[in-house]
Amino acid sequence: MKETDIEIEQLRKKLDSIDDSLSSLLSERVNIALRIIEIKKEKGMAVEDLNREEQIIQRVSQKNPSVAPLLKAVFRRIFDWVKSRHQPL
């Protein structure tokens, strides 16, 4: 195997590990968010909190400005997906 191929393979293994971590963290985040929605519904509170969503986007974007547009899109999608799980049928 060429040195370049070995390096690519090593980098891909790192990416695989990061992907596994991201998917686990995303699953944990979704479960916590769904629990918050359940609590809000039990208490008769509004499920959607656009101010909180914007605060999250601003916080993560400021911590990672080089990928801020990507983070904004990803988090908006996460918020929408979670809220869609609790829409009345």
Burial of residue 56 (CB within 10 Å: 0-12, 13-18, 19+) is middle
Structural domain contains residue 58: yes
pLDDT at 7: 96
Model's pTM, two decimal places?
Answer: 0.85
pLDDT at 86: 74
Residue 1 in tokens: 């195997």
pLDDT at 89: 47
| Sign of the dihedral defined by the CA atoms of residues 48, 52, 58, 62, in that order | negative
Residue 22 in tokens: 């991201």
| Total domain count, the chain | 1
Structural domain contains residue 54: yes
Structural domain contains residue 89: no
Q: What is the 3-state secondary structure (H, E, C) of 41-79?
A: HHCCCCCCCHHHHHHHHHHHHHHCHHHHHHHHHHHHHHH
CATH number reported for the structural domain that contains residue 54 in this entry: 1.20.59.10
Residue 13 in tokens: 């293994």
In the DSSP assignment, the letter for residue 47 is S
Residues (pLDDT < 70) of the chain are 87-89
pLDDT at 17: 98
Which residues form the domain of 51?
A: 3-84
